[in-house]
Amino acid sequence: MAVSSFALQINGSVHMHLVSHGLKHLKTSLSSTVKPFLEELQHNPMKIDVSAAIRNTSARFLDAFVDSIFHFADIPYLPSQKNFAPVEEIGGLVEVTCIEGQIPADFPEGVYLRNGSNPQFGSLQSTVSMFGRSSQIWVEGEGMIHALYLKKNACGQWAVSYNNRYVETETFKLQKQRNQPIFLPAVEGDSIAVAAGTLLNMVRFGAANGYASNTTVFEHSGKFYAIAENYLPQEIDISTLETYEEWNVNGAWNRPFTSHPKRAPESGELVIMGFDAVKPYYVVGIVTADGKKLSHKVDLKFNRCCLSHEIGVTEKYNIIMDYPLTIDVKRLLTGGSFLKFQKDGYAKIGVMPRYGDADSVQWFEVQPHCTFHLLNCFEDDNEVVVRGCRSCEAIIPGPDWGQDKFEWFSRGFKFTQPTEENPDSSIREGYLFTRVYEWRLNIVTGEVKERNLSGNELSMDFPMINEKFTGLKHKYGYTQVVDSVASSSAGNVKYGGLAKLYLDEPHQPEPLENGGENNQVIEVGYHKFAENIFCSGTVFAGKPGGSEEDDGWLVSFVHNEETNVSQVHIIDAKKMESEPVAKIALPQRVPYGFHGTFVPIPSHP
C-alpha cells in the first residue's frame, strides 16, 4: 500500500476540545498564537506561509517550548527491516554497467521512476513528552525518487544510468535548514500525545503532518509530479530529479490531491480528487488535457472523511470508493485513534458522470472492505465493472497502539478458510489478506454482483495494467505478491513475487486440504523470486508498436537481503514464469518503496 501521511485541518472548536482533554496548561501561553493561525486555516488552509511562521516571536517561543518538552528518538530497524532503512542521495547520474542477460533491442527507451519513504534523518521518529508517546508510521518518511535511465547510444547499444534524489518539499527544506525533525508524530501513539502533536503542528506550520510527496510519480501534459495525498503535487524534472514548485492548477485547486489521478479515455483529461478531515470531505476535479485549467470541481457532500486512496474512470464515469477507513478528530478526544478502520462500518461505490455533481452520483452498497488500489474500471453493457485489490480490513494505520505489531501482521496475512464450526475464522485471521476482487454494478437495475477473482492462495496488491487500457475493457492485469511469512517477521509488507491475471480465462476451483475451496475464478500466472528477494514499484512497460495488450515487460526494483544488492529486473510479460531477460545491478541499495512509473522517451535523430 502506498498511503502517506494525512493532513488534518483543525478548527477553533476542536482546539478547545483538545484543551479540555489535558492541554489546559497550554491555553494561556499559546492562545495569542493559536487564534490567528486557526482563523487563517479556516479561510485558506493550504496557503499558510510556513517560512514566515517560524520567523516571528510567537513561533520562536513555540519552537523553544517543543524542544524543551518533546524528546525525539530514532525508531530502530530490526534485521528483518534493514531494507526499509533510508539511503543517502547518490549525488548525480551514475553509469550502470553490470547487467546480467540482455535488455531487449525492442525495449522502450525511457526512464523508470519509483517513489518511496526515505526518512530524512536516518530513521522514522518517535517522541516522548509529558503527554505520553507518539510515533511516525512506516509511510511517513520524506519522498525519494529512484530513477533508472535506459537510452541507446549512436551505435544502438544500451546506455544505462541511475540517480536518486529527495523530493524537496517545504517540509524537507525547513528540516534541512534546521538540521532536525520539526513535525511532532501525530498518527500513532497515546491519544493525548497525538492530540498535542496535532495541535502544535497546526499552530506552528499550518498542517497536522509534514508534506512528504513520497507515494508515486505521475505525468500530465508533458510535466511530471511527485505526490502524496495530504498535499499538492510537486513538479519534478525527471532528467535531474530536481524539485520545482507545487502544482495547484493555476490556483484553482487548494486542497489535498489524490496519489492516483486518472487520465480519462479519449479526452486525455485528468480526473482528480482530494479527501480532507474537515468539510468538504471529498471533492472531485477535472483538469483539462493541456493541464492549464480546472474545468470542473464539485463537492460530493460526504458526511465523513474516508481515506480513499484512489479514484477510477471509465469512458463516461468517475468511480468513487467509500469504505470504512475514516479520519475523525472527535475520536482523539475520547482516547481513541483519529484514523481507524470501522469493522461495522458501511461501504459504497459511486458511479458519477464525468461532469456530474453530488446529486448525479449513483451509489451502490457493497460489503465492507478496504480497497486502496484499483486495477481498472470499465463499462460492459449496463454494468460498470470495478476491479481492485480488496482486504477485509486496512493495513493503515497499523495495529492499535501497544499491540504486538508482528503478531498482528502474522494473523492478518494468515488466511483461514471458514468452516461450519468456525464461520468467522477468515475475519479473526486473514483480515489483511488482499485479493483481486470484482464488483459489477448495474446502472439500470441497481444490482450488485461481487466476487473474488484471484482466490485465497496468495495475497496480492499494487496492481497495474497496460495504461493504454485505463478505463477500457481489458484482458490482463498484474500485481505484486505478498510474502506473508517475511511480512509477518518484519512487521511490514514484503512482496516476494509478481502475478499476471488472465481476466478472460476461467479457472476451475480446486479443493483445499481442509475441505474448502480456493474460490479462484481466473487463471493466474506467477513469477516468484528466490528466498529473501523482494520487489517494489513494479510497472508495465509496453512494447513500442505492440499489437497485443500484453506486448511488453514488467520492470521492478528488486532487493536481495542476503547479498544486500539491489537490481532492476526486466521480465517478459508473456512469459511470466521465465527468468528475467535482464537483471541490472544498481550502484547502491534501493529501499523498498511504493509506486513506480515508466516514461518512454524515444531518441530523436
How many Å apart are CA 274 and CA 257, to the nearest integer? 5
* 284, 305, 450 from 335: Cα distances, Å: 32, 19, 36
* 187, 210, 214, 308, 500 from 4: Cα distances, Å: 11, 10, 7, 12, 27
The DSSP symbol for 320 reads E
Binding-site annotation: residue ranges? 260, 309, 373, 595
Count of other CB atoms within 10 angstroms of residue 122: 13
User: How far is it between the farthest Cα atoms of the chain?
Assistant: 72
How many Å apart are CA 19 and CA 29, to the nearest integer? 12
Count of other CB atoms within 10 angstroms of residue 43: 7
Tell me whether residue 304 is exposed, middle or buried, using C-beta atoms within 10 angstroms of its C-beta: 0 to 12, 13 to 18, 19 or more. middle
Q: Which residue has the cell 501513539?
A: 189
The DSSP symbol for 45 reads G
Question: What is the secondary structure of 269-290 as a DSSP string?
Answer: PEEEEEE-SSSS-EEEEEE-TT
Please report which helix (H) or strand (E) contains residue 72, including its range.
strand 71-74
Please report which helix (H) or strand (E) contains residue 314, including its range.
none
How many Å apart are CA 16 and CA 37, to the nearest integer? 14
How many Å apart are CA 171 and CA 196, to the nearest integer? 19
Binding-site annotation: residue ranges for Fe cation? 260, 309, 373, 595
Q: Give the residues across from 220 on adjacent strands.
A: 223
